Amino acid sequence: MSQLFDYEKQREAESAAKVRALEALLIEKGVIGSDSVDTVLAHFETVAGPFNGAKIVARAWVDPEYKARLLADTPKAIAELNLAQGMDGAEGEHMLAVANAPGVHNLIICTLCSCYPWPILGLPPYWYKDPVFRARGVREPRAVLKEFGVPVGAETKVEVWDSSAQIRWFVVPERPANSEHLNEEQLAALVTPESMMGVALIELPAI
Residue spans of the domains in the chain: they are 49-188
Which alpha helices (H) appear in the chain, and where do they start and end? 3-28, 34-46, 50-62, 64-72, 74-80, 118-121, 126-129, 131-139, 141-147, 184-188
Taking 80 as the threshold, does the pLDDT of residue 16 lie above it? no
Q: Is 34 a catalytic residue?
A: no
163 is in an annotated binding site: no
- pTM here? 0.78
Taking 90 as the threshold, does the pLDDT of residue 40 lie above it? no
114 is in an annotated binding site: yes
Q: Is 115 a catalytic residue?
A: yes
Catalytic residue among 113, 163, 164, 195: 113
Average pLDDT over residues 136-160: 96
Could you tell me the pLDDT band of residue 71, with boundaries at 50, 70 and 90? very high
Catalytic residue among 15, 114, 164, 179: 114
Q: Is 15 a catalytic residue?
A: no
**Topology of the domain covering 49-188:** Nitrile Hydratase; Chain A (3.90.330)
115 is in an annotated binding site: yes
Distance CA 202, CA 61 (A): 12
Q: Is 113 a catalytic residue?
A: yes
Least confident range from 30-44, 59-73, 83-97, 121-135: namely 30-44
Instruction: Calculate the average pLDDT of the chain.
Output: 81
